Amino acid sequence: MHVRYSYLKQQFSNCDDLWKKLKKFVVTGDFTLGKELAIFEKNFAKLIGTKYAIGVNSGTDALKLSLKSIGIKPGDEIITAANTFVATVGAITELGAKPVFVDCDDTFCMNVDQVQKKISKKTKAIVPVHFTGYMTNMPKLVKIANKLKIPIVEDACQSILGAINNKNAGTWGISGAFSLHPLKNINVWSDGGIITTNNKKLYDHIKLLRNHGLVDRDTVKINGYNSRLDTFQAVVGNWLLPKSKSIAKKRIENAKYFDDHLSKIEEIRIPPRPRNYKIVYHLYIVFAKNRDKLYKYCLKKGIEAKIHYPKPMYLQESLKYLKHKKNDFPVTDYHCRNIISFPCDQHLSIKQQNYIIKTVKDFYKKN
Ligand SMILES: *Cc1c(COP(=O)(O)O)cnc(C)c1O
């Protein structure tokens, strides 16, 4: 059996209703900051539970514009997680700021108990990454940040509808950054991103930043960027958004099924599943003994398993100037060696799930 990782071919194989909407849309010519975008922003804010949302052209820009809007300048230090996707770090370095890493714990998110000791006079923001669809321990982090008066910008790119105590990712910090990249849980047909906030001043500022700082056609108030979410993509977003809760639900059900069966295998360890956390499983990850061999075995058996990631961000060549050494972040390093990701999306069939479970069982019987 073949178990693919990407479900994109399935997701849009049957969407005649979307094509109809797009056909209607293209003849309006309303391509830039159009009506459908305003609708998408309103509905996205409502879904997440903030007053405002601003569409931008990627998740990376959602982070970058958020940081820019709170005044991040070259030389500032930004605290973030050691095990994230490159984009978190890219948004920070593009503003000339310095990423200061904190090790993660077994939820794959920043260990907030280690934040305090990384704070310096130059610390100007904290960017927790709700990695894999988990949540950073936000109740605790918000307390620490409030005490220090340091703003939090959430990297919620992997955690649309993730929550703690029913409070969603993207509502805890001064703003939240989401990605609508094709591989994210809520996706459009190309790059896209969106920022959530309750802060009117920030909202107005980011709206200027994403559109060259233009107040109107002839008036430039601040120096900005071209970072608009295409209205075309907002049409796709408006089509998908009503399905977002059922997508999260299906992923959670699939993960529960994996947990129930994989936890019976002695060589597999399931990460903690705190009861007050809603984990939306952008990635489904477990710890596996003999991981490299299991990974190769899965590939041989037709299962497109993945490793997120085999080499941590802090050891990448692009960050050599930070002078980190191997083992600076031991939990992150442990994860790099021991985790494996399996597909967990809403289009995965029960047959495919059972095949994955059986394949893992077979591997450990033989090894
Ligand atoms: C995907 C992702 C981003 C950036 O999103 P893009 O839309 O690809 O620019 C940022 N942070 C994390 C953790 C991500 O997974």
Give the pLDDT confidence of 219-257 residue by residue, as tens digits: 999 999 999 999 999 999 999 999 999 999 999 999 999
Nearest C-alpha neighbor of 156 from the set 118, 187, 124, 194: 194
- The stretch 132-136 carries a mean pLDDT of 97
In a domain, 153, yes or no: yes
Q: Are residues 71 and 81 in the same domain?
A: yes
CA of 87 to the centre of ligand 1 (A): 5
What is the CATH classification number for the domain harbouring 342?
3.90.1150.10
Among residues 243, 278, 297, the one where a domain terminates is 243
Q: Are residues 150 and 64 in the same domain?
A: yes
CA of 180 to the centre of ligand 1 (A): 8
Q: Which contacts (CB < 8 Å, 24+ apart) does range 246-253 have?
A: 246/346, 247/185, 247/186, 247/346, 248/160, 248/161, 248/185, 248/278, 248/280, 250/345, 250/346, 251/133, 251/185, 251/280, 251/281, 251/284, 251/344, 251/345, 251/346, 252/278, 252/279, 252/280, 252/281
pLDDT tens digits for range 333-346:
999 999 999 999 99
Among residues 227, 243, 259, the one where a domain terminates is 243
**% helix, strand, coil for the chain, step of 5:** 45, 15, 40
Ligand 1 binding site (Cβ under 6 Å of any ligand atom):
58-60, 84-85, 87-88, 129, 155, 157-158, 179, 181, 191, 193
Q: Are residues 236 and 248 in the same domain?
A: no
> For 283, which DSSP code?
S
**In this structure, are residues 55 and 207 in contact, taking their beta carbons and an 8 Å threshold?**
no
pLDDT tens digits for range 60-85:
999 999 999 999 999 999 999 999 99
CA of 92 to the centre of ligand 1 (A): 13
CA of 365 to the centre of ligand 1 (A): 38
292: containing domain: 244-366
Q: Are residues 116 and 260 in the same domain?
A: no
Task: Give dist(CA 250, CA 349) in Å, integer.
Answer: 11
Q: Are residues 236 and 352 in the same domain?
A: no
Q: Are residues 130 and 266 in the same domain?
A: no
- The stretch 90-101 carries a mean pLDDT of 98
Which atom number of ligand 1 is nearest to the Cα of residue 158?
15
Averaged pLDDT score across all residues of the chain: 97
Q: What's this model's pTM, rounded to 2 decimal places? A: 0.97
pLDDT tens digits for range 292-337:
999 999 999 999 999 999 999 999 999 999 999 999 999 999 999 9
Q: Which of 80, 155, 230, 309 should be mutated for ligand 1, with most atoms under 8 A from CB?
A: 155
Using CB atoms within 10 Å of the CB of residue 98, give its burial: 0 to 12 exposed, 13 to 18 middle, 19+ buried. Answer: middle
pLDDT tens digits for range 256-290:
999 999 999 999 999 999 999 999 999 999 999 99
pLDDT tens digits for range 145-155:
999 999 999 99
Task: Give dist(CA 150, CA 258) in Å, integer.
Answer: 39
Task: Give dist(CA 234, CA 251) in Å, integer.
Answer: 23
pLDDT confidence tier of residue 162, bands split at 50, 70 and 90: very high
CA of 173 to the centre of ligand 1 (A): 17
In a domain, 3, yes or no: no
Q: Which of 64, 84, 88, 285 should be mutated for ligand 1, with most atoms under 8 A from CB?
A: 88
Which atom number of ligand 1 is nearest to the Cα of residue 191?
7
**In this structure, are residues 306 and 5 in contact, taking their beta carbons and an 8 Å threshold?**
yes
CA of 261 to the centre of ligand 1 (A): 31
Among residues 193, 218, 243, the one where a domain terminates is 243
SS3 284: strand
**In this structure, are residues 78 and 100 in contact, taking their beta carbons and an 8 Å threshold?**
yes
Q: Are residues 217 and 286 in the same domain?
A: no
- How many domains, in total, are found in the chain? 2
Q: Are residues 126 and 167 in the same domain?
A: yes
Tokens of 191: 């790059």
In a domain, 221, yes or no: yes
Q: Which of 66, 184, 195, 306 should be mutated for ligand 1, with most atoms under 8 A from CB?
A: 184
pLDDT at 300: 98
What is the CATH classification number for the domain harbouring 146?
3.40.640.10
